[in-house]
Structure 1
């Protein structure tokens, strides 16, 4: 918040527009680098800690703990013929790789076969990194690759990753 306040004060002063633009760009790039080093990036809600769901339920098929997932995530990954089944419901994501169920609500269940993508072999959905690639290249090298890609193109975890979250924390934990 302090940086935003400083930017506001700078822009209220009568500084040449070109100088203001340069200062603004440098400040924003600095914020992006700082956030990227913490595993976050500006504009990427999936990588922030505020996106971690505390709301959980038990998967009706495998009985694993399952976290709440956004409707945007569910709709972006479901095959089109399933869109009408989503409605106005709260969905939960089952992260158990051995379970065929992927999303469930009080009234609806979706299986992995109902998705447009395959989920079992991916470590990073935004940049198409397989679990095998992480095992072969190593966690640190893959995380560096993801960070570099995020810096240049950003990510879309909220619509590409079935959990709706950034994969970096999961890769860090699993490998």
Structure 2
């Protein structure tokens, strides 16, 4: 079976639950949603498509949240459940804190709702760790 790719940028895409798409879409976009079929998330920073399915695409402007993968701003969300941004993660790291460990603890305690709150429909820990590793490499 071949990998699913974004119809606009042709980057590999990952399947995302319909409930995630429904939770993320603004009202006007939700009204256009045809809920049948599989939906996919495009993580390419250079592409405006966030979600797509057969014959449907939803763009950055169609979603309620800023999308980490598509927003390079320091105040862009990285962890949607516990309100960590790129800036707040780096600031915590500089203070000697371990925000990744805090988030892991919250996940262990089953407090996260990544499947609904995170536009990628999955846990943010990979993104959090990448931001922290990048910050460590620059310091």
**Please, what TM-score do these two structures have when normalized by structure 1?**
0.61
In the alignment, the residues of structure 2 paired with residue 56 and residue 77 of structure 1 have an alpha-carbon distance, to the nearest angstrom, of 24
In the alignment, the residues of structure 1 paired with residue 36 and residue 54 of structure 2 have an alpha-carbon distance, to the nearest angstrom, of 11
The answer to whether residue 81 in structure 2 is matched with residue 126 in structure 1 is yes
Which residue pairs with 2:136 in the alignment? none
**Please, what TM-score do these two structures have when normalized by structure 2?**
0.75
Distance apart, 1:109 and its partner CA: 0.3
The answer to whether residue 16 in structure 2 is matched with residue 69 in structure 1 is yes
Distance apart, 1:103 and its partner CA: 0.4
* TM-aligned CA distance change 1:56 to 1:165, over 3 Å: farther
Structure 2 residues without counterparts, runs of 5 or longer? 134-139
1:130-175 C-alpha deviation (Å, 9 max, x unpaired):
1122233339711122134345670110001111110112322453
Name which of 103, 107, 110 aligns with 2:58.
110
Which residue pairs with 1:47 in the alignment? none
1:23-73 C-alpha deviation (Å, 9 max, x unpaired):
xxxxxxxxxxxxxxxxxxxxxxxxxxxxxxx98411122221110111011
- Would you identify which runs of 4 or more consecutive aligned residues in structure 1 move more than 3 Å? 148-153
In the alignment, the residues of structure 1 paired with residue 121 and residue 38 of structure 2 have an alpha-carbon distance, to the nearest angstrom, of 14
Q: Highest Rg: 1 or 2?
A: 1
Larger helix fraction of residues: 1
* TM-aligned CA distance change 1:151 to 1:87, over 3 Å: closer
In the alignment, the residues of structure 2 paired with residue 72 and residue 132 of structure 1 have an alpha-carbon distance, to the nearest angstrom, of 29
Structure 1 residues without counterparts, runs of 5 or longer? 1-53
